[in-house]
A = this chain, B = another copy of it.
């Protein structure tokens, strides 16, 4: 079998992205425009992401549930900003069971409305609060320009929906969850995201305030990778979510929502991948270690195979794959697993058996520098240590790349140059007109206003007016 070279990132980044996803069998195009099939290797990555996030949600008191896929059109219309934001993207079911429906149903683009409706039935007293529910599922948004994992008509995500007795508790929850996303991104995905507030024009349709995590991709574009919204009483008003407080007075509940999606897979691909293909962070990698046995004849095989079998048992704590394909050469296999992003490869041939060791090759360090000889005996701890080193190295490298590509331009002219190929970190007065001007002139947008802010005031990079906050400005997916 022939291995075609991938298009390099510098040749054509977006072509590299599409190629690597399809060749590594993470996903494929579906026969419906803008939809994708998430293949087993991609879904295994998503399962690992889900497991890590789900345990964090449960540790902070959340429980899972399932709300309907189909939502009456009239529900969407109850919150004015919400319907304005989502109406252009709806998929509409007009017929069911061979009959035209009296009221069309939309395939959920997000579930604030139907969950709000149910919460109004379930929440009666302050004793019922907080309600802390999450849902893992699929949603449909009729996007015109789609990209595998980044923007597809249907995508998989989780959406948390909580209701609280006070504004303060809702705000605390909103922040807790965006910070949970950031912690996950750093520690599991090795993606050094920046946490901050979205600008008014970029916030969720119907929210008082939105927070996000923003990641820098290998082409220095930004990718919004998770959001958390303080919905204030907007949806409680629209759906009549009321409770009797401790003084027996009726109050509207304060709600939040927050979500991350299969877009995170895109973030991992574009944060770590190189011209050889994917590089998966060990903690999330579907396959953490691939073992390639090397032999040229049955005699060598008889020597190598039992050692490989024993090694697999020894490494049972990790997600290990033994590549036993007969029709491929070791060289083909090395390239193949590098392309597929497996963090660590172990090679064992007859000489290695004689010397009771093996060759370990790190995916993140190409060539000889990434190779190290490991003794076979008690190798479990050594392999674990290597995986941790790879995890840390990926985060360090991504952080260095991010920091090297964030600049603080002095003038608007400089800003225009900076955002052509990097991120700007600049004072912004908060005026939407200045935000619009940047977008018009450069296609870059205000990604977020980070929590970490200088103490001093400054001059807005666009209009020069007094500004109290700095914002990250970049082109984004």
- For chain A, the bracket of interface size reads 35 or more
A47 CB–B CB distance under 8 Å: yes
Least CB distance, A42 to chain B, in whole angstroms:
8
B68, B97, B127, B133: which contacts A40 (Cβ < 8 A)? B133
Which residues in B have their C-beta under 8 angstroms from that of A43?
63-66
Query: Considering only CB atoms, which chain B residue lies closest to A262 in the complex?
Result: B66
A351 CB–B CB distance under 8 Å: no
Which residues in B have their C-beta under 8 angstroms from that of A454?
none
B72 engages A32 (CB within 8 Å): yes
B63 engages A154 (CB within 8 Å): no
B94 engages A90 (CB within 8 Å): no
A138 engages B138 (CB within 8 Å): yes
A28 CB–B CB distance under 8 Å: yes
Query: Considering only CB atoms, which chain B residue lies closest to A327 in the complex?
Result: B127
Cα distance A252–B142 in the bound complex, in angstroms? 36
B31, B39, B96, B138: which contacts A69 (Cβ < 8 A)? B138
Cα distance A256–B137 in the bound complex, in angstroms? 26
A419 CB–B CB distance under 8 Å: no
Cα distance A44–B30 in the bound complex, in angstroms? 32
Report A52-80 CB contacts with B as 1/0, cut-off 8 Å: 00000000000111111111100100000
B87, B93, B121: which contacts A107 (Cβ < 8 A)? B93
Copies in the complex: 2
Main secondary structure of the interface of A (DSSP, over half): mixed
A331 CB–B CB distance under 8 Å: no
A70 engages B32 (CB within 8 Å): yes
B39 engages A65 (CB within 8 Å): yes
Cα distance A47–B88 in the bound complex, in angstroms? 35
Least CB distance, A66 to chain B, in whole angstroms:
4
Which residues in B have their C-beta under 8 angstroms from that of A91?
70, 93, 95-97, 105
A35 CB–B CB distance under 8 Å: yes
B89 engages A31 (CB within 8 Å): no
Report A263-292 CB contacts with B as 1/0, cut-off 8 Å: 000000000000000000000000000000
Which residues in B have their C-beta under 8 angstroms from that of A117?
31
A424 CB–B CB distance under 8 Å: no
Least CB distance, A316 to chain B, in whole angstroms:
14
B92 engages A65 (CB within 8 Å): no
Q: Provided the pairs A35-B68, A93-B93 are in contact, do residues A98 and B88 lie with their beta carbons within 8 angstroms?
A: yes
B63 engages A38 (CB within 8 Å): no
B97 engages A95 (CB within 8 Å): no
Least CB distance, A25 to chain B, in whole angstroms:
9
Query: Considering only CB atoms, which chain B residue lies closest to A92 in the complex?
Result: B95
Cα distance A28–B105 in the bound complex, in angstroms? 19
A65 engages B47 (CB within 8 Å): no
Cα distance A292–B227 in the bound complex, in angstroms? 39
- Which residue, A37, A42, A72, has most C-beta atoms of chain B within 10 A? A37
Q: Provided the pairs A65-B40, A68-B37 are in contact, do residues A97 and B89 lie with their beta carbons within 8 angstroms?
A: yes
A222 CB–B CB distance under 8 Å: no
B95 engages A94 (CB within 8 Å): yes
Least CB distance, A198 to chain B, in whole angstroms:
24
Report A112-142 CB contacts with B as 1/0, cut-off 8 Å: 0010011001100001000001000110101
Least CB distance, A65 to chain B, in whole angstroms:
5
Report A140-157 CB contacts with B as 1/0, cut-off 8 Å: 101110000000011010
A185 CB–B CB distance under 8 Å: no
Cα distance A316–B138 in the bound complex, in angstroms? 33
Q: Provided the pairs A28-B121, A133-B40 are in contact, do residues A92 and B96 lie with their beta carbons within 8 angstroms?
A: yes
Query: Considering only CB atoms, which chain B residue lies closest to A41 in the complex?
Result: B63
Which residues in B have their C-beta under 8 angstroms from that of A38?
65-66
Task: Show 15 A/B contacts (Cβ-Cβ < 8 Å), sorted by A.
Answer: A28-B118, A28-B122, A37-B68, A38-B65, A38-B66, A40-B133, A66-B156, A69-B138, A69-B154, A70-B153, A88-B98, A93-B94, A94-B95, A95-B104, A137-B138
Given contacts A37-B65, A40-B64, A68-B154, 15 further A-B contacts (CB under 8 A): A28-B118, A31-B72, A32-B68, A32-B71, A35-B70, A38-B66, A40-B133, A69-B69, A70-B91, A70-B154, A87-B98, A91-B95, A93-B93, A93-B107, A137-B138
Chain A residues with a Cβ under 8 A of chain B: 28, 30-32, 35-40, 42-44, 46-47, 63-72, 75, 87-98, 104-105, 107, 114, 117-118, 121-122, 127, 133, 137-138, 140, 142-144, 153-154, 156, 327
